[in-house]
Amino acid sequence: MKWMRFRIRTNEEAEDVIISEMVDIGLTGAQIEDKVPLTAAEKEQMFVDVVPEQEDDGIAYLNFFAELADDNTLTVTIPDEDAEDTSASDGTGDVSYQMEAAGGKQVKKTPEQLQKEIRQILDGISQYMDIGDGTISVDVTEDIDWMNNWKQYFHKFIVDDVLIIPSWEEPSEEDLEKTDKIFHIDPGTAFGTGLHESTQLCIHQLGKYITPGCEVLDVGTGSGVLSILALMYGAGHCVGTDLDKGAIPAIAENLEANGYTDKDLKLIIGNIIDDKKVQDEVGYEKYDVVLANILPVVLVPLAPVIGQFMKKGAVFITSGIMNEKGEEVAAAHRAAGFTDIEMIHQGDWVSVTSRKA
């Protein structure tokens, strides 16, 4: 399938107005590219592996897509009047904006007709507000571009003594001199890659607390990055829990890519906080290290529960915490009877580590 992309150069202030007006001509979805910094609340809510932020220059690009047929016509959808606006960010500075319509009428237009209508809308908006350049560029893209475009944002990187690298890149001699562990990953869209600062904080702590042959419990395993790295650091076996069944194929892929199997990492789907069946399967007083790279809204109620699965003296490593929430999570550790509270910071994030008495 081919798509024609209409790319508008504008400014951040005009984004919402332009997107709203384009709905009338059938362009009901847009991709926004800008450099507006994410707020602390947005980062905490999203909790994804974000591309490092760039200096905001006020420029925005709006990308509108229409399906291109073999007869060189475009299919667009005019939504019903009761359509609802929704938007979501992917953490890279791009935002997907979509009109959710109860119905909608599909209409055929020529590229020239649609470009003319876009121009008319931009000219109209420019009469009452600044829209920046307001220039339009047009190109054609295949589905494969949509599938692989995100690869430009993910490259190999080093955390402590670990090289994290995708399949489309090769380690350099310098990489190999700096590291003694290589973690292979082809990141998808649902789970982490190790790029996020909160994940890197956990990796720092793994290197400090993992001992040969230790048993590890990873709450909120996701793609298994931390569990597999724990194995690389010498853990004897890992058990992971996650609420999302999508973790199953993600973990399987990462295990295979790094030479491990499900015998090394057992995944349990369910909520360890309140599901007795999950708790029984996880097992009691058997883990030397527990990892939880989640969010404070989960970490706080997890703290009074998790100790029953840990050996005496076991270490509890938590992350996914914005700096301003660090004391709240540390207090939850203390209230649950954990000692030796340690807090380490990286950027806007903090990891809280403690020990079972």
Binding residue ranges for S-adenosyl-L-methionine: 199, 220, 242, 293
| Distance in angstroms (rounded) separating the CA atoms of residues 34 and 186 | 26
Encode burial over 85-95: b for 16+ CB neighbours within 10 A, e otherwise.
Answer: eeeebbbbbbb
Torsional sign, CA 328, 332, 292, 204: positive
| Distance in angstroms (rounded) separating the CA atoms of residues 330 and 328 | 6
Enumerate residues 6+ apart whose C-beta is below 8 A from 335.
Answer: 303, 304
How many Cα atoms sit within 13 Å of 242 on the Cβ side? Answer: 23
The tokens describing 122, both together, are 């931009």
Q: Let me know the angle formed at the C-alpha of 248 by 91 and 287, rounded to the nearest 5 degrees.
A: 95
Terminal-to-terminal C-alpha distance of the chain: 60
| Distance in angstroms (rounded) separating the CA atoms of residues 299 and 320 | 9
Q: Do residues 263 and 243 make contact, with C-beta atoms less than 8 angstroms apart?
A: no
| Distance in angstroms (rounded) separating the CA atoms of residues 319 and 219 | 11
Largest Cα–Cα distance of the chain, in whole Å? 72
Binding-site sequence positions: 199, 220, 242, 293
Q: Let me know the angle formed at the C-alpha of 295 by 308 and 183, rounded to the nearest 5 degrees.
A: 90
Which runs of E-coded beta strand occur in the chain? 2-11, 29-33, 59-68, 74-78, 84-89, 94-100, 105-109, 135-142, 157-159, 162-165, 181-184, 215-219, 237-242, 265-269, 287-293, 310-322, 338-346, 349-356
Which runs of E-coded beta strand occur in 187-337? 215-219, 237-242, 265-269, 287-293, 310-322
Torsional sign, CA 205, 236, 291, 183: positive
